Structures are given as C-alpha cells and as structure tokens.
Structure 1
Amino acid sequence: MYSKILVAADGSDTSRHALKQAIELARKLSAKLRIVHAVDMNWLPIGPEVGIDTGAQSAARREAGEKIIAAARNTAQEAGFEAETELIETETPVQHVAEAIAEEALRWGADLVVLGTHGRRGFQRLMPGSVAEKMARLSPTPVLLVPLSNGSLSA
C-alpha cells in the first residue's frame, strides 16, 4: 500500500507524536521512512537592515533545523527504526513551507506524507501558518494529519 512515507518534523509535541505514528506505520508496512524539516528562509526584516540578510539569520535557521532533524533521527533510532533524514529549505521569497515539503515528497517519490496537526477548527484553522492545512489542500501526495489528542472529541 504505502512503501515510502515522508514525515515532516518541526520539533513541537504535535510533530513528535506524528513522527512516532509514522514510525509505527512504516514498521507495519515495511515502508521506507524519510524525516524532513523545512527551513523557512523567508523572513520579515526588522530594523535599519531592512531587506538585508547578512547570513546570520539563515545560518541560525539551518542550525535550529539540524537540531530538529537530529532529535527526530534519535527518536526513530530509539524505536529501533532506521530513517533517512533531510533538511530542506524554501527556495523563493514567496514559497510556503508546505510547498517545500510537497515538492520534496514528489522528488523522493513518497506515497504518503505524515504531519502533526493542532486540530484547530473554524476561523483558527484559516489563519496563516497552518502548514498541515496548506499541505492537505495542495499536496498531490496523500496526507495523513495526526492530531495531538487526549482522546476527547470536544473542541
């Protein structure tokens, strides 16, 4: 059914929960697992350097992304599962993180993308920044959204 599962990690509790679910799914299906973290290279300049990225912001974002990837890799290894990892970046000033993840899924040939979701409803889910919402809408690859749930159906 699914032989190549891509899971996006951002270091949040929701993301860690989705990673654990992806590891178990990959194990049960004997699927390959790739863990990615997308570094958002789009930034809002503040101060007298408006529009200038000295490289410090980019380097800090990459370093933070490497730490997230390392932690996710450790989670997989502790579960006894070997996973590939990849740090990806947004490629244009207007590219959304979800677009970068969707492109990586296509490039790698993933047949399932797994993401954590906060489970926002109504107006909150339409607010900018919802990578899961955007992925669900734009990805040509099937997307599994994993909520960090306490088992309750209440909002």
Structure 2
Amino acid sequence: MYKHILVAIDGSETAQHALKAAIRLAKVQQSELLVVHVINEISMSLPEGGYVPDVQEAFRESGREILRQAESDARKAGVTAETILLEIDKFGQNAADMIVAEAENRGADLIVIGSHGRRGIRRLLLGSIAESVMRLASRPVLLIRGE
C-alpha cells in the first residue's frame, strides 16, 4: 500500500495522464499526494552569469499555475494534494535528480511520472527524465505512457 505518492508533472498532456493516474491511485489507497513541477533557472542564465528576470518569473508563474490546476484536480476527486515548485539553480543539477531527491526527502512510497515514449534520435537528443528517474530511484516508479 502506498501512503505517500509523488507525481512529477510538466504541463504536458502526458503529465496530465500521469496526474490522473496518481489521483486515482491516491483515492483508492487513501494516500497523500505530492505534486512537483521542476523549472530550470540555469537555462535562463545569461553568459555573464546574470538572469533574465522577466523570463525567469514567467517560468515560475507558469509552474505555479500548473501546480494550482493539479491541486484543483486532486481536490475535485477528493484527494488532498500538496504542491511544490522545484528550481534547478546550479549547474550539474537536473530534473530527475531533483524529483528523486524530493521523493526521498518526503518519504514517498511511489513516484508517478509520465513518459513521452521517444525513441531513436529524438530520445538521444532530448533525453528522458522518466528514464533517469527510474534508474536513480530507490523506490517504485509508476511510468505512465502518453497516448
């Protein structure tokens, strides 16, 4: 039985499928749900080490809106959800590491994440956060494929 479920979302349709699956599972198992969204501040850095404040804040606000909607979806289903916006702010950090670390820190029994199912050169170029989470996690990972 999973009492603490972490679901990672990015605003995509695939992540929405993962969120719905996590909500259904949390409802059936009477679990607590933690919804996380990761933004990458480093990608918004200028070469001189400065930031583009308007873009940075736009990404934060977009992330907060994604989390607000997820919390609303969970509440409508009768599931209590906590949300957290994670920010990559150091070189060498990546989304998968942050998701796994948050699951460890919060004592999650299960990580739910969507996968776009990329193959070939697209997978090589774009990488797979879901695949990295599966490799790094010390707890079960439920992978939800996009439709």
What TM-score do the two structures reach when normalised by structure 2? 0.89
Q: Unaligned regions of 5+ residues in structure 2, if any?
A: none
* Pairing 1:52-63 to 2, within 5 Å after superposition: 52-63=50-61
**Alignment root-mean-square deviation, CA:** 1.8
How far 1:118 moved relative to its partner? 1.0
Q: Tell me the SS of whatever aligns to 2:58.
A: helix
How far 1:108 moved relative to its partner? 0.5
Alpha-carbon separation, structure 1, partners of 2:73 and 2:129: 22
What TM-score do the two structures reach when normalised by structure 1? 0.85
The structure 1 segments of at least 4 consecutive aligned residues displaced by more than 6 Å after TM superposition are none
Amino acid at match of 2:42: N
Deviation string for 1:56-80 (max 9, x for gaps)? 3322221111011011111112222
> What is the aligned partner in structure 2 of residue 4 from structure 1?
4
Deviates more, 1:7-16 or 1:122-131: 122-131
Residues 35, 85 of structure 1: 8 Å contact kept = yes
Of structures 1 and 2, the larger Rg is shown by: 1
Higher share in helix = 2
Q: Unaligned regions of 5+ residues in structure 1, if any?
A: 150-155
**2:75 counterpart of 1:82:** no
How far 1:54 moved relative to its partner? 4.2
Alpha-carbon separation, structure 1, partners of 2:24 and 2:111: 14
* Pairing 1:17-36 to 2, within 5 Å after superposition: 17-36=17-36
**Cα gap change, 1:111 to 1:91, in 2 (>3 Å):** farther
